[in-house]
Structure 1
Amino acid sequence: MKRVIFSEWALEWVESKRMYIKESTYANYKLAIMNHLIPEFGNLYIDEITRKIIQETISDWSVNGRVDGDGGLSCKTIKDLIIILKMCLRDAGINSSQSFDGHCFMYPHEDNKREVQVLSNEAQDKMIHLILKEMNCERLGYIMSICTGIRLGELCALQWGDIDMGKKLIKVQKTLQRLYIKTNEQCGTTKIIITSPKSRKSIRTIPISVDLYNIMIGYQGDEKDYVLTGTSKYIEPRLYRKHYDKFLKDNHLEYIRFHGLRHTFATRCIEEGADYKIVSELLGHASINLTMNLYVHPQLEQKRQCVDLIRLLE
C-alpha cells in the first residue's frame, strides 16, 4: 500500500464526504482540518501518526491551540477535533495496530466552565415590560425565546408558515446560519444557509402559551414572511444579536447573552416543577441528561431534606 502524507489525505477525505453530509458539517470539518489538523499532522505519513503524538498534540492544543495565538482550546473543541481525526484515519485504512477507536486519550480538566446565564424573576419581568412598551417584530423574537426556549438560528429561520396559530403550535424544522468555508490557509468564503436543525431531536413542535399567542396574533403575516422581519427577507443571527445587545444597552438592562433567554425559559420550567423529559423535548436536546446537567441543581435545603431521611435512632 502506498504511503500517504496526512495533509494530502485529509483534504481528499473531506471532499469525498461533501455530498453525504450537511453543508454546515462539511464547513466545520474543513475548518478543523485546515486550522488545526494539518498544522499539527500535515507533514507526517498516515502510519506515522501514533497515540503518543496525538496525546502530545491534545496537551499542546489545551495550552496553545487557538488560531489567534491567544491561549488554548476548550476541552469540547479538542474532543471534536479528535473525533474528526479518528474518522479521517479510519477511512485511510491504517492497520489495526494503529486503531484509535475507544477511549484511549486523556483530555485536560476544565476548571473555568462558563456558567449558564439566567435572568432572575425580577430581571425577566423588567425586560418583558420594556419589550412590550415598544413592540415590533424583532422584539417579538425576544419574547418568543423567553416563552419557548427556541434557539437563535431556529428563530431567524422561522416563517409564519411554520406556525399554526389555530392550534397554537410552532413547528421548528429549520435553522439559519452563516457558514465560513475555508478555501486555503489564508482565506475563505461565507454564505447564509437555511437547513434542518442541528440534530433529529431539534425538529420539534412547541405549543404557544395563551400570553404569547395574544402577543403574536398582532404580528401574524403571510406564510412566507419571516417572523423577525415581517417581510419575505430574513435577518441573520449575527445582526439580530447585535440589535438585541443594543436593546439591552439602550434600556440599561443587565447584560445576558441572547442564548441566556433560552436558559431562562428552561430554568423557569424546572423551577415550576415541569417534567424533565418534557423540558428536554421542548428544547430539542439530544438527551434528557443534557437538560439535567444544565438546569437541575438541587438547592442546599433540598440536600438537607435528603440527608435527614437517614435516621439513626427510632
Structure 2
Amino acid sequence: MARRGENIYKRKDGRWEGRCVIGKKPDGRTAFSYIYGKTYTEVKKKLEICKADRTQAKTMDRAQEVFRDGTLGAWMEFWLDGVIKPEVKHSTYAVYRGQVERHILPAAGKLNLSDISNKTMEIVYNAILDKNISTSTAQNICKRFMAALCSARDRNLISSLPVLPYKKKKYNRKKPRFMTLEEQKRIEKKLDERNSKDLAVLLALYSGSRVGECCGYTWQDFDPLAGGIHVSHSIQRVTLFHQQKQKTKLILTETKSDSSRRFIPLPRFMVQILVQFQKENKATGSDYIFGAGRKAMDPRVLQYYLTRVTESIGLRGIHFHTLRHTFATRFMERNGDVQALKEILGHSSAKITLEWYGHSTKQHIQKSMLKLNRLTA
C-alpha cells in the first residue's frame, strides 16, 4: 500500500514502483513515468530527481518564454524570486535584493537582457564606485551580477557572458580591532550586571557571542548544570521589500552557518551572574534572556547602547563585534588552544581562526620576551 501523499507501491514481485507525473495525454488524462527499484528508499530518491528535473524544465520554459526579449530588470526580478529566494535565508535574500535595487537596476535595469556586454559591466562597476563604496564591496556586487547572468545563460537566454571589469587583487586583511586590557577594565567597571543590556555586553566579552546571537538567547539555551549556553539561532533585522509601511523587521533565523550551532562553556562567574539574573527576573516571564516577554532585544538597540557606554568613557570605534575580537584575543593571550577557540567562536575551520587571531598583543609579546634567560648564564 502506498504511503499517504506518495505514488510509491510495493509490487507482488517484491520490487517497488513509483509514478512521476510528466504531463498530459492527448485525451487529457495524466501521463506518468514509471520508476522501479529494489527498495522503497531507492525509488523515493529516483522520484525526487525526476520531480526536480521536471520543475527545472518548467522554470526554464517559463524563463525563455517571458525573458528572452525582456529587460535586464525583468530578468533580475525573476532571478531573485524564482532562483535565489527558495535557496537562501531571508537575511541573505534581503542583501541580494538590496544590492540589485540600489546598484544594478539604476545603472542598467532598462537595457535588454540580450544587449548586456562588457561595457554594461563597466558601467555598473563605475556607478557603484562613484557612490564612494569600497572597491571590495563593488567587486562583490559585480560578482552577484555575474551570477545572475550565468543563470540566464544556463536557461539559454543569452549566449555569452561579459567579463568582470577588474583584475583580481588580493587584499591584505585588516587586523581585527580589539580592546587592550586597560580599555576592557574601563568598560567592565561601567557595566551593571543587573541591567540586561550591560549583562549582554559582559556575556559577549566572555563568550565571543555575536550581537544577533546574544539577542536570540533564551533561558532554554542556558544550561547552568553544564556551565554554558547553546547557540542555535540568531535575531536579525532584515529589510522587507514590497512593503509600504514597515521597511524592516526583526526575525529569528538559524545561525550564520552549521558550524555556528555550538555550545559555549562559560566562566564560572558568568554562570553565577546569569543564574542570579534569572532569579531576579523570573517574575517577568521573559522567554529571551535579554528581551521582554516573547519579544527579543533589537541588535541595533544593543549596538547603540554599547556606543553610548564606550564614548562616555572616552573610547571610540568600539562595535559589538569588537567584543568578540577582544574575547578571542584574551583567550589566546592565556595560551588558549586554537582548535578550542575555533569551536567557541563557531568558525568552520581552525585556519580562519588562526588568520584572524594568530597575532599577539604588545603586552603579551613583552611578557614572553621577559621570560627568556641566557642559556649560558
What is the rounded CA distance, in whole Å, between the counterparts of 1:257 and 1:295 in structure 2?
17
| Corresponding letter in the other structure for 1:141 | A
What are the Cα deviations for residues 124-164 of structure 1, in whole angstroms up to 9, with x where unaligned? 122223324x6322211111100011000110111111111
Return the match for 2:258 from 200, 203, 216: 200
Q: How does 1:266-285 map to 2 (within 5 A)?
A: 266-285=328-347
TM-score by length of 2: 0.68
Structure having the higher Rg: 2
Q: Report the 3-state secondary structure (helix = DSSP H, G, I; strand = E; otherwise coil) of the residue aligned with 1:177.
A: strand
Structure 1 residue 247 corresponds to structure 2 residue 309: yes
1:126 matched residue in structure 2: 186
Alignment check: 8 A CA contact 1:182 1:189 kept:
yes
Q: Give me the identity figure in percent.
A: 26
What is the rounded CA distance, in whole Å, between the counterparts of 2:76 and 2:305 in structure 1?
39
What are the Cα deviations for residues 63-108 of structure 1, in whole angstroms up to 9, with x where unaligned? x1x3xxxx2x22342233133212211221266962469x884257
Return the match for 1:214 from 262, 272, 276: 272
Alignment check: 8 A CA contact 2:103 2:124 kept:
no
What is the rounded CA distance, in whole Å, between the counterparts of 2:355 and 2:199 in structure 1?
29
Describe the shift of the 1:78–1:210 C-alpha distance in structure 2 as closer, same or farther (beyond 3 A).
Answer: same
Q: How does 1:257-272 map to 2 (within 5 A)?
A: 257-272=319-334
Counting matched residue pairs gives 291
Structure 1 residue 139 corresponds to structure 2 residue 205: no
TM-score by length of 1: 0.80
What is the rounded CA distance, in whole Å, between the counterparts of 1:219 and 1:286 in structure 2?
32
Alignment check: 8 A CA contact 2:116 2:162 kept:
no
Alignment check: 8 A CA contact 2:153 2:159 kept:
no
1:295 matched residue in structure 2: 357
Return the match for 1:24 from 91, 106, 109: 91
- Which of structures 1 and 2 has the larger relative contact order (alpha carbons within 8 angstroms, sep 6+)? 1
Q: Which moved more, 1:77-86 or 1:146-155?
A: 77-86
Alignment check: 8 A CA contact 2:232 2:262 kept:
yes
Q: Report the 3-state secondary structure (helix = DSSP H, G, I; strand = E; otherwise coil) of the residue aligned with 1:171.
A: strand
What is the rounded CA distance, in whole Å, between the counterparts of 2:248 and 2:292 in structure 1?
25
Structure 1 residue 82 corresponds to structure 2 residue 142: yes
Structure 1 residue 8 corresponds to structure 2 residue 66: no
What is the rounded CA distance, in whole Å, between the counterparts of 1:89 and 1:75 in structure 2?
21
Displacement after TM superposition at 1:299 (Å): 7.2
Name stretches of at least 5 consecutive residues in structure 2 with no aligned partner: 1-63, 369-377
What is the rounded CA distance, in whole Å, between the counterparts of 2:320 and 2:195 in structure 1?
17
What are the Cα deviations for residues 217-259 of structure 1, in whole angstroms up to 9, with x where unaligned? 1112668521113643321011122222233344x24232222
What is the rounded CA distance, in whole Å, between the counterparts of 1:145 and 1:21 in structure 2?
27
What is the rounded CA distance, in whole Å, between the counterparts of 2:336 and 2:228 in structure 1?
19
Structure 1 residue 163 corresponds to structure 2 residue 222: yes
1:310 matched residue in structure 2: none
Q: Report the 3-state secondary structure (helix = DSSP H, G, I; strand = E; otherwise coil) of the residue aligned with 1:30.
A: helix
| Corresponding letter in the other structure for 1:20 | E
Structure 1 residue 91 corresponds to structure 2 residue 151: yes
Q: Report the 3-state secondary structure (helix = DSSP H, G, I; strand = E; otherwise coil) of the residue aligned with 2:251.
A: strand
What is the rounded CA distance, in whole Å, between the counterparts of 1:188 and 1:216 in structure 2?
35
Return the match for 1:233 from 289, 295, 301: 295
What is the rounded CA distance, in whole Å, between the counterparts of 1:119 and 1:266 in structure 2?
11
